[in-house]
Amino acid sequence: LLMSGIRQIQYADLQFHELLGAGSKGSVYRATWKSENRQVAVKKLLELDQTEAALLNQVRHRNIIQLLGASLQRPNQCIVSELAQGGSLYDYLHDSGRDLGPDRLLNWATQIACGVRYLHDEAPQTIVHRDLKSKNVVLTADFSVCKLCDFGAARVVLGSSGVTLAGTPAWMAVEMLRGDRSAGKPCDAWSYGVVLWELLTRQVPFRGLQPLQIVYSVVEEGERLPVPPQCPTGLSLLLEKCWSEDPTKRPTFGSIVSRLEKLADPDTRAALDNFGRQREVWRGWLDAALARMRHTEEALRAQRRLLDGVRRSELAGNLRLLRLND
Protein backbone atom coordinates (compact mmCIF):
# COMPACT_ATOMS: atom_id res chain seq x y z
CA LEU A 1 0.00 0.00 0.00
CA LEU A 2 2.85 2.38 0.89
CA MET A 3 4.40 1.88 -2.55
CA SER A 4 1.23 2.62 -4.54
CA GLY A 5 1.73 5.45 -6.98
CA ILE A 6 5.52 5.05 -7.09
CA ARG A 7 6.98 4.29 -10.51
CA GLN A 8 8.52 0.83 -10.70
CA ILE A 9 12.01 0.82 -12.28
CA GLN A 10 13.72 -2.36 -13.43
CA TYR A 11 17.10 -2.89 -11.75
CA ALA A 12 18.59 -3.95 -15.10
CA ASP A 13 17.61 -0.52 -16.46
CA LEU A 14 20.16 1.09 -14.13
CA GLN A 15 23.87 1.34 -14.93
CA PHE A 16 25.86 2.10 -11.78
CA HIS A 17 28.86 4.42 -11.62
CA GLU A 18 30.76 5.80 -8.62
CA LEU A 19 29.76 5.66 -4.98
CA LEU A 20 28.46 9.04 -3.74
CA GLY A 21 27.96 8.21 -0.08
CA ALA A 22 27.23 5.45 2.40
CA GLY A 23 25.30 5.11 5.64
CA SER A 24 23.93 2.51 8.02
CA LYS A 25 20.89 1.80 5.84
CA GLY A 26 22.49 1.74 2.41
CA SER A 27 24.79 3.30 -0.16
CA VAL A 28 24.10 5.99 -2.77
CA TYR A 29 25.53 5.76 -6.28
CA ARG A 30 25.48 7.90 -9.38
CA ALA A 31 23.79 5.87 -12.08
CA THR A 32 22.38 6.10 -15.58
CA TRP A 33 18.69 5.30 -16.01
CA LYS A 34 19.21 3.78 -19.42
CA SER A 35 15.70 3.85 -20.88
CA GLU A 36 15.34 7.52 -19.89
CA ASN A 37 18.94 8.46 -20.78
CA ARG A 38 19.12 10.29 -17.48
CA GLN A 39 21.71 10.62 -14.72
CA VAL A 40 20.18 9.72 -11.35
CA ALA A 41 21.06 9.00 -7.73
CA VAL A 42 20.31 5.45 -6.60
CA LYS A 43 20.13 4.47 -2.95
CA LYS A 44 20.79 0.72 -2.70
CA LEU A 45 19.25 -0.77 0.42
CA LEU A 46 19.61 -4.01 2.33
CA GLU A 47 15.87 -3.76 2.86
CA LEU A 48 13.65 -1.36 0.94
CA ASP A 49 12.60 1.48 3.23
CA GLN A 50 9.02 1.83 2.08
CA THR A 51 8.45 4.69 4.52
CA GLU A 52 11.24 6.79 2.98
CA ALA A 53 10.01 6.09 -0.56
CA ALA A 54 6.41 6.86 0.38
CA LEU A 55 7.36 10.13 2.08
CA LEU A 56 9.51 11.26 -0.84
CA ASN A 57 6.70 10.41 -3.24
CA GLN A 58 4.39 12.85 -1.43
CA VAL A 59 6.61 15.90 -1.54
CA ARG A 60 7.05 18.38 -4.36
CA HIS A 61 9.30 21.31 -3.59
CA ARG A 62 12.25 23.07 -5.20
CA ASN A 63 14.39 22.50 -2.11
CA ILE A 64 13.66 18.78 -1.64
CA ILE A 65 15.17 16.02 -3.76
CA GLN A 66 12.61 14.49 -6.14
CA LEU A 67 11.81 10.78 -6.06
CA LEU A 68 11.71 9.25 -9.57
CA GLY A 69 10.87 5.64 -8.74
CA ALA A 70 11.98 2.46 -7.00
CA SER A 71 13.14 -1.05 -7.78
CA LEU A 72 11.40 -3.70 -5.68
CA GLN A 73 13.34 -6.69 -6.96
CA ARG A 74 15.10 -8.58 -4.16
CA PRO A 75 17.99 -8.50 -3.43
CA ASN A 76 18.41 -5.37 -5.56
CA GLN A 77 15.96 -3.05 -3.85
CA CYS A 78 16.67 0.64 -4.30
CA ILE A 79 15.24 4.14 -4.44
CA VAL A 80 15.88 6.25 -7.55
CA SER A 81 15.88 10.04 -7.26
CA GLU A 82 17.07 13.10 -9.12
CA LEU A 83 20.83 13.65 -9.09
CA ALA A 84 22.12 16.89 -7.60
CA GLN A 85 25.45 17.08 -9.39
CA GLY A 86 26.99 19.74 -7.15
CA GLY A 87 27.56 17.21 -4.36
CA SER A 88 26.78 17.65 -0.69
CA LEU A 89 26.84 20.89 1.25
CA TYR A 90 29.25 19.22 3.69
CA ASP A 91 31.79 18.58 0.92
CA TYR A 92 31.43 22.12 -0.42
CA LEU A 93 31.97 23.72 3.00
CA HIS A 94 35.11 21.71 3.66
CA ASP A 95 36.76 22.46 0.33
CA SER A 96 38.78 25.60 1.09
CA GLY A 97 39.10 26.35 -2.60
CA ARG A 98 35.38 27.06 -2.92
CA ASP A 99 34.01 30.50 -2.25
CA LEU A 100 31.14 31.19 0.15
CA GLY A 101 30.38 34.88 0.22
CA PRO A 102 27.61 36.58 2.24
CA ASP A 103 25.06 36.42 -0.61
CA ARG A 104 25.46 32.69 -1.20
CA LEU A 105 25.56 31.94 2.54
CA LEU A 106 22.27 33.75 3.24
CA ASN A 107 20.66 32.35 0.10
CA TRP A 108 21.53 28.75 0.98
CA ALA A 109 20.50 29.22 4.61
CA THR A 110 17.12 30.53 3.45
CA GLN A 111 16.63 27.74 0.90
CA ILE A 112 17.31 25.02 3.48
CA ALA A 113 14.86 26.67 5.89
CA CYS A 114 12.25 26.89 3.09
CA GLY A 115 12.63 23.15 2.44
CA VAL A 116 11.99 22.29 6.09
CA ARG A 117 9.13 24.82 6.32
CA TYR A 118 7.47 22.95 3.46
CA LEU A 119 7.88 19.60 5.26
CA HIS A 120 6.49 20.98 8.51
CA ASP A 121 3.69 23.23 7.27
CA GLU A 122 2.89 22.73 3.59
CA ALA A 123 3.37 19.05 2.66
CA PRO A 124 0.31 16.77 2.37
CA GLN A 125 1.29 15.38 5.79
CA THR A 126 3.50 17.03 8.39
CA ILE A 127 6.96 15.50 8.11
CA VAL A 128 9.81 15.85 10.62
CA HIS A 129 13.17 15.16 8.93
CA ARG A 130 15.04 14.27 12.17
CA ASP A 131 18.43 13.91 10.47
CA LEU A 132 19.02 17.38 9.06
CA LYS A 133 22.76 17.96 8.55
CA SER A 134 25.08 19.29 5.86
CA LYS A 135 25.65 15.78 4.47
CA ASN A 136 21.90 15.55 3.84
CA VAL A 137 21.76 18.78 1.84
CA VAL A 138 22.83 18.51 -1.80
CA LEU A 139 23.54 21.15 -4.44
CA THR A 140 22.66 21.49 -8.10
CA ALA A 141 25.48 21.56 -10.64
CA ASP A 142 25.61 25.36 -10.72
CA PHE A 143 25.35 25.59 -6.89
CA SER A 144 22.25 27.75 -7.18
CA VAL A 145 19.81 25.42 -5.43
CA CYS A 146 20.00 23.45 -2.15
CA LYS A 147 17.91 20.30 -1.77
CA LEU A 148 17.18 18.22 1.33
CA CYS A 149 17.73 14.50 0.91
CA ASP A 150 17.93 11.21 2.86
CA PHE A 151 14.56 10.77 4.48
CA GLY A 152 15.48 7.42 6.04
CA ALA A 153 15.03 8.88 9.53
CA ALA A 154 11.98 11.01 8.73
CA ARG A 155 8.55 10.24 10.08
CA VAL A 156 5.06 11.59 9.59
CA VAL A 157 3.65 13.31 12.67
CA LEU A 158 0.31 11.76 13.53
CA GLY A 159 -1.42 13.71 16.28
CA SER A 160 0.56 13.48 19.51
CA SER A 161 2.07 10.07 18.89
CA GLY A 162 5.78 9.68 19.48
CA VAL A 163 8.47 8.93 16.95
CA THR A 164 11.38 6.54 17.03
CA LEU A 165 14.80 8.04 17.53
CA ALA A 166 17.29 8.70 14.77
CA GLY A 167 19.97 11.18 13.81
CA THR A 168 23.65 12.01 14.23
CA PRO A 169 24.79 13.23 17.71
CA ALA A 170 26.54 16.44 16.59
CA TRP A 171 23.32 17.63 14.91
CA MET A 172 20.78 16.08 17.29
CA ALA A 173 18.55 18.10 19.61
CA VAL A 174 19.10 17.73 23.35
CA GLU A 175 15.73 16.02 23.84
CA MET A 176 16.63 13.40 21.23
CA LEU A 177 19.99 12.81 22.90
CA ARG A 178 18.06 12.19 26.12
CA GLY A 179 15.94 9.59 24.32
CA ASP A 180 12.72 11.62 24.30
CA ARG A 181 10.38 9.78 21.93
CA SER A 182 8.02 12.73 21.67
CA ALA A 183 10.63 14.82 19.82
CA GLY A 184 8.88 16.64 16.96
CA LYS A 185 9.28 19.70 14.75
CA PRO A 186 11.56 21.61 17.20
CA CYS A 187 14.27 18.96 16.83
CA ASP A 188 14.66 20.04 13.18
CA ALA A 189 15.09 23.67 14.34
CA TRP A 190 17.99 22.58 16.58
CA SER A 191 19.63 20.66 13.72
CA TYR A 192 19.10 23.60 11.39
CA GLY A 193 21.02 25.77 13.88
CA VAL A 194 23.97 23.38 13.57
CA VAL A 195 23.81 23.56 9.75
CA LEU A 196 23.69 27.37 9.94
CA TRP A 197 26.73 27.25 12.28
CA GLU A 198 28.49 25.11 9.63
CA LEU A 199 27.67 27.65 6.94
CA LEU A 200 29.05 30.47 9.08
CA THR A 201 32.23 28.76 10.32
CA ARG A 202 32.90 26.09 7.66
CA GLN A 203 33.96 23.85 10.55
CA VAL A 204 32.89 20.32 11.54
CA PRO A 205 30.52 20.61 14.53
CA PHE A 206 32.06 19.35 17.79
CA ARG A 207 35.24 18.45 15.91
CA GLY A 208 37.51 16.26 18.03
CA LEU A 209 34.76 15.02 20.35
CA GLN A 210 33.54 11.43 20.26
CA PRO A 211 29.76 10.83 20.00
CA LEU A 212 29.45 9.96 23.69
CA GLN A 213 31.44 13.07 24.60
CA ILE A 214 29.01 15.18 22.54
CA VAL A 215 26.03 13.60 24.31
CA TYR A 216 27.58 14.22 27.74
CA SER A 217 28.58 17.81 26.93
CA VAL A 218 25.18 18.81 25.50
CA VAL A 219 22.91 16.88 27.87
CA GLU A 220 24.80 16.92 31.18
CA GLU A 221 26.81 20.13 30.91
CA GLY A 222 24.42 22.20 28.80
CA GLU A 223 27.17 22.97 26.29
CA ARG A 224 26.43 24.39 22.84
CA LEU A 225 28.60 24.90 19.79
CA PRO A 226 30.78 27.96 20.41
CA VAL A 227 29.75 30.97 18.35
CA PRO A 228 32.60 33.41 17.59
CA PRO A 229 31.99 36.86 19.11
CA GLN A 230 32.58 38.42 15.68
CA CYS A 231 29.48 36.63 14.27
CA PRO A 232 26.77 39.11 13.12
CA THR A 233 24.34 39.67 16.00
CA GLY A 234 21.18 38.70 14.13
CA LEU A 235 22.62 35.33 13.17
CA SER A 236 24.14 34.58 16.59
CA LEU A 237 20.76 35.32 18.21
CA LEU A 238 19.07 32.95 15.74
CA LEU A 239 21.55 30.21 16.67
CA GLU A 240 20.86 30.80 20.35
CA LYS A 241 17.10 30.44 19.79
CA CYS A 242 17.51 27.28 17.70
CA TRP A 243 19.47 25.71 20.56
CA SER A 244 17.02 26.59 23.33
CA GLU A 245 16.82 23.88 25.98
CA ASP A 246 13.02 24.17 25.91
CA PRO A 247 11.81 22.93 22.49
CA THR A 248 8.74 25.18 22.66
CA LYS A 249 11.01 28.25 22.66
CA ARG A 250 12.72 27.35 19.38
CA PRO A 251 11.61 29.24 16.28
CA THR A 252 9.32 27.71 13.68
CA PHE A 253 10.69 27.51 10.17
CA GLY A 254 8.23 30.15 9.05
CA SER A 255 9.82 32.56 11.51
CA ILE A 256 13.34 31.40 10.57
CA VAL A 257 12.68 32.21 6.90
CA SER A 258 11.26 35.62 7.88
CA ARG A 259 14.29 36.38 10.05
CA LEU A 260 16.72 35.44 7.29
CA GLU A 261 14.87 37.54 4.73
CA LYS A 262 15.09 40.53 7.07
CA LEU A 263 18.80 39.86 7.59
CA ALA A 264 19.46 40.01 3.83
CA ASP A 265 20.28 43.70 4.11
CA PRO A 266 23.49 45.63 3.31
CA ASP A 267 24.50 45.91 6.99
CA THR A 268 24.30 42.15 7.63
CA ARG A 269 26.07 41.38 4.36
CA ALA A 270 28.87 43.78 5.30
CA ALA A 271 29.08 42.21 8.78
CA LEU A 272 29.28 38.73 7.22
CA ASP A 273 31.98 39.88 4.84
CA ASN A 274 33.95 41.28 7.79
CA PHE A 275 33.35 38.05 9.72
CA GLY A 276 34.86 36.09 6.84
CA ARG A 277 37.94 38.34 6.69
CA GLN A 278 38.54 37.75 10.42
CA ARG A 279 38.46 33.97 9.97
CA GLU A 280 42.01 33.40 11.18
CA VAL A 281 41.29 35.33 14.39
CA TRP A 282 38.08 33.56 15.40
CA ARG A 283 39.14 30.17 14.10
CA GLY A 284 41.84 30.05 16.78
CA TRP A 285 39.24 31.09 19.36
CA LEU A 286 36.92 28.35 18.08
CA ASP A 287 39.61 25.66 18.27
CA ALA A 288 40.40 26.69 21.84
CA ALA A 289 36.71 26.63 22.84
CA LEU A 290 36.24 23.12 21.42
CA ALA A 291 39.46 21.93 23.08
CA ARG A 292 38.25 23.32 26.42
CA MET A 293 34.94 21.49 25.97
CA ARG A 294 36.77 18.26 25.19
CA HIS A 295 39.17 18.58 28.12
CA THR A 296 36.39 19.56 30.53
CA GLU A 297 34.41 16.47 29.60
CA GLU A 298 37.49 14.26 29.97
CA ALA A 299 38.32 15.79 33.37
CA LEU A 300 34.76 15.33 34.61
CA ARG A 301 34.76 11.72 33.50
CA ALA A 302 38.07 11.15 35.31
CA GLN A 303 36.65 12.82 38.43
CA ARG A 304 33.57 10.61 38.28
CA ARG A 305 35.75 7.51 37.93
CA LEU A 306 37.75 8.66 40.97
CA LEU A 307 34.57 9.27 42.98
CA ASP A 308 33.21 5.88 41.92
CA GLY A 309 36.47 4.33 43.11
CA VAL A 310 36.21 6.14 46.47
CA ARG A 311 32.60 5.03 46.86
CA ARG A 312 33.55 1.43 46.09
CA SER A 313 36.39 1.65 48.61
CA GLU A 314 34.03 3.09 51.24
CA LEU A 315 31.46 0.41 50.50
CA ALA A 316 34.11 -2.31 50.84
CA GLY A 317 35.22 -0.76 54.16
CA ASN A 318 31.64 -0.64 55.43
CA LEU A 319 31.15 -4.27 54.47
CA ARG A 320 34.30 -5.23 56.41
CA LEU A 321 33.02 -3.34 59.48
CA LEU A 322 29.67 -5.10 59.22
CA ARG A 323 31.41 -8.49 59.11
CA LEU A 324 33.52 -7.54 62.19
CA ASN A 325 30.42 -6.42 64.07
CA ASP A 326 28.72 -9.69 63.21
Closest CA to 270 of 233, 237, 241: 233
Which residues sit opposite 40 in a β-bridge? 31, 82
How far apart, in whole angstroms, are the C-alpha atoms of residue 246 and residue 222?
Answer: 12
Angle at 101 between CA 96 and CA 106, to 5 degrees: 120
Cα torsion angle, 284, 288, 289, 294, sign: positive
Helix-then-strand count for the chain, H and E: 10, 9
Q: Is 282 helix (H, G, I), strand (E, B) or coil?
A: helix
Q: Are 217 and 223 in contact (CB under 8 A)?
A: yes
How far apart, in whole angstroms, are the C-alpha atoms of residue 251 and residue 16?
Answer: 42
- Which one of 131, 267, 287, 326 is the catalytic residue? 131
How far apart, in whole angstroms, are the C-alpha atoms of residue 63 and residue 147?
Answer: 4
Query: Would residue 91 show up in a list of annotated catalytic residues for this protein?
Result: no
How far apart, in whole angstroms, are the C-alpha atoms of residue 106 and residue 296?
Answer: 34
Q: Are 250 and 242 in contact (CB under 8 A)?
A: yes
Q: Which residues of 164-202 are buried (b: 16+ CB within 10 A; e: fewer)?
A: ebbbbbbbbbbbbbeebeebbbbbbbbbbbbbbbbbbbb
Angle at 248 between CA 244 and CA 253, to 5 degrees: 85
Cβ neighbors of 107 (< 8 A, separation 6 or more) are none
Backbone phi and psi for residue 146, each to the nearest 5 degrees, phi listed first: -100, 140
Residues belonging to the active site: 131
